[in-house]
Structure 1
Amino acid sequence: MTKTSQPPYTISPGIIRLISDISEQLGGLAALSGDGKDETSLRLRRINRIRTIQGSLAIEGNTLSEEQITAILEGKRVIAPPGEIQEVRNAIKAYEQFESWQPGSEKHLLKAHQVLMAGLIDDAGHYRRGNVRVMNGETVVHMAPPANRVKSLMSDLFGWLSVTDQHSLITSSVFHYEFEFIHPFADGNGRMGRLWQTLILSQWQPLLAQLPVESMVHEHQSEYYQALNLSTQKTDSAPFIEFMLSMILATIGSAAGYITPQVSQQVTPQVEALLKSLHQAGKALSRNELQTSLSLKDRESFRERYLKPALAAGLIEMTIPDKPNSRLQQYRLTVQGKKLAETF
């Protein structure tokens, strides 16, 4: 890859559809958010920042909960492995400096890595000096480029970023993938790649900096790695682009539940039964699982009287919103739906 060429990727119909859906839903979310300066909006922004930190670090093996991260943020004592506490403190500091960094600045990227990895590795803020392999258990899933190529590859990547006129949703995902492929640091590559994608997106739509996309990625962690590996196998980052855009879309849909005014407590008995079933399960369920839990055999009746009204009211959401007919589709409570289910 040179400064005059672009990383290899294709734009599929699925990617175009996702960009359209994200743009549309962002417009609606922005309208609901207002100026974002009221007390409720500021509180939700803080909650989402905590969810972002927890999700991104959990992907890397950090076991601290949202409650523990909140305690650290408030200066309270937390009993946990020192390294994991340090990771959280670093992440909190990094997101406090988030708005001061420019996505096109390699210097800022190195500074962000220094903040994120301070006290965790010796060469925080510097590109790696040794070769690395990405492992899955005992299996090598990716052999990163040699260390002596990292600086030039990163320079080329930033060169492309500075001249591309591609949509930010695509640009950010391509940068994220290429960053993980290069694996420029000895450690911290995953959290840095996700941080920098969010930074790129925030230049297009500041609201995206407030959404916990990392938390959604954590929920689909195996798919995240599958998309990375598939893109490497195909020498085309399209699978990863499509995955990340689907996560962004799902996060926007989930965020609407946080800021939508409280719905009427009056719902139909059918929707109430559906919410109770999901609440008791404590996890996402497929259509068949839901019908079984409700002792329903008529698929059409279930769809019309239970599923559609709950979806329309924003009380439940699809786990794969861009593929509503997927055989892997499941349904889960939104924040709004969970709050309502707790009142039954």
Structure 2
Amino acid sequence: MSYQPLFTITSKMLNLVSEITEALTKIESTQNSSITPYLRRTNRIKILAGTLEIEGNFLGEEKITAILDGKRVLGSVRELAEVDGAIKAYEKFEEYCYDSLDDLLQAHKILMNGILTTAGAFRRVNVGVGSENGVSHVAPPHERVPELMSDLFEWLKNSDDHPLIKSSVFHYEFEFIHPFSDGNGRIGRLWQSVILYNYKSIFSSVATESIVRDYQDRYYKALEDSGELGQSTPFIEFMLEVIFEAIKNVPNDVSKNVPKGREVSILNLIAENSKVTVKELALKFEVNEKTIKRDLEKLKEENKIKRIGSARSGYWEVIK
């Protein structure tokens, strides 16, 4: 294997890999089933919203949920096309072969269909990647892209590096090559998750993209710092931090249904006080707010309650 991306294994990386591995083992040992349909759907929506918001599409989780439910929503033609492409690209998430360049090209074609006439094909022009301070990175000449991508996938297939590190290296190198005229960020994030899924299946429901969205400035800075250093070390460390935080956000035990006793009590409390808050419900039942939010979402899916107005000033209504 002639091609070898430049990076340095640091003690910070090794510590993060150890912590992530321990957290994954704990999740796998406490869950009755590896992934519940509810967890898969909820986190997939977070993933879609996160990766699109990084690129300036702010339709958000609520509208993406409505689109998945077959409802019509308001948005620009491009916004709706981006959501549609992202939904379809992630629908095939578990079918992609992580070390297949053809699969990545197909994913880009699905993702950018209706947006780019060259969807699924490498760029044929030279490009520079912009930042607030101007052009932060001049990508390799377009005629070198096919060879560079072929070398990257050969390394990905044959490398003995830990998958957590390897996925982060790939993500950086992919963004450095910048092989497409548009959609590089979305595909880079998607493909890192595909590599991680090949390592552990639970990554199909780990919303790393939404954590990247939360630390978007640091994400771009890590890319720039790696570019200036000439190796992906800063970016690897950043992405391992993101993965660790995303793993910590996965509930150790996600029940498909709201426990019957709590369901009845929640419905009664909403009937008595339509403006009861998540925090108040969490205190009442001595569970964390994430659990209550999941309960409420499940009750909404079952058409037992609905939200009238905004999250801040609206209220709940029990559906008779």
Normalising by structure 1, what TM-score? Answer: 0.74
Deviations 1:228-267 (A, max 9, x none): 00011111111111111101100111112773899xx9xx
Deviations 1:77-109 (A, max 9, x none): 001111111111111111111122101111111
Q: Which residue of 2 aligns with 1:180?
A: 175
SS of residue matched to 1:103: coil
Q: Which residue of 2 aligns with 1:9?
A: 7
Letter in 2 for 1:55: G
**Cα distance between partner residues in 1 of 2:294 and 2:65:** 21
Q: Which residue of 1 aligns with 2:290?
A: 335
2:42 aligned with 1:42:
no
**Cα distance between partner residues in 2 of 1:109 and 1:257:** 31
Check 1:145–1:338 CA distance in 2 against 1; reply closer, same or farther (3 A cut): same
2:146 aligned with 1:151:
yes
Letter in 1 for 2:199: W
Letter in 1 for 2:146: K
- Tell me if structure 2 keeps the 8 A contact 1:314–1:337: yes
Structure 1 consecutive aligned stretches of length 4 or more whose deviation exceeds 6 Å:
337-340
2:120 to 122, 125, 129: 125
Q: Which residue of 2 aligns with 1:23?
A: 21
- Tell me if structure 2 keeps the 8 A contact 1:211–1:252: yes
SS of residue matched to 1:116: helix
How many residues matched? Answer: 273
SS of residue matched to 1:152: helix
Q: Which residue of 1 aligns with 2:80?
A: 85
Deviations 1:18-41 (A, max 9, x none): 00000000111122332246xxx2
**Cα distance between partner residues in 2 of 1:339 and 1:179:** 35
- Tell me if structure 2 keeps the 8 A contact 1:32–1:259: no
- Tell me if structure 1 keeps the 8 A contact 2:31–2:253: no
Residue identity over aligned pairs, in percent, reads 46
SS of residue matched to 1:256: coil
Q: Which residue of 1 aligns with 2:105?
A: 110
2:30 to 26, 32, 37: 32
2:115 aligned with 1:160:
no
Letter in 1 for 2:25: G
Check 1:260–1:24 CA distance in 2 against 1; reply closer, same or farther (3 A cut): farther
Check 1:66–1:258 CA distance in 2 against 1; reply closer, same or farther (3 A cut): farther
Check 1:256–1:314 CA distance in 2 against 1; reply closer, same or farther (3 A cut): farther
Instruction: Please tell me the root mean square deviation across aligned C-alpha atoms, in Å.
Output: 2.5
